[in-house]
Amino acid sequence: MSSTTCEEAVYAALETVKNVPRSASIDSSLTRDLGLESIDIVDLFFEIEQATGTVIEINQLLSQAQAKSSGRRFEDISIQDVVDFLASHPS
């Protein structure tokens, strides 16, 4: 799946789950910047999985994000991290 397609899927899901505008920075943290709570993230990942057919494993997503920058925690996961995960894990 192309990065553009992944980005579109993530922004569409964010808009559905939390009414996050597509103008939100791709570097925005899902929790700190966008205000998503745990249940919102579950809903977000479900929406993305339905749209793309790719299952998002939170541990794998976090490991991939930590590989880019050590010391990152779940609270640091950004829109870009989710897009990168989807692009590297075809359905």
Confidence at residue 91, expressed as pLDDT on a 0 to 100 scale: 67
Instruction: Summarize the confidence of residues 40-67 as an average pLDDT.
Output: 93
pTM above 0.85, yes or no: yes
Residue 55 main-chain phi, psi, to 5 deg: -80, 130
The answer on pLDDT for 34 being more than 90 is: yes
The answer on pLDDT for 66 being more than 70 is: yes
The answer on pLDDT for 20 being more than 90 is: yes
Confidence at residue 68, expressed as pLDDT on a 0 to 100 scale: 82
Helix (H, G, I), strand (E, B) or coil at 34: coil
Confidence at residue 1, expressed as pLDDT on a 0 to 100 scale: 77
* Rounded-to-integer distance, Cα 29 and Cα 25, Å: 9
Confidence at residue 89, expressed as pLDDT on a 0 to 100 scale: 87
Helix axis angle for 38-52 and 79-88, nearest 10°, is: 30
Q: What is the mean pLDDT of the chain?
A: 92
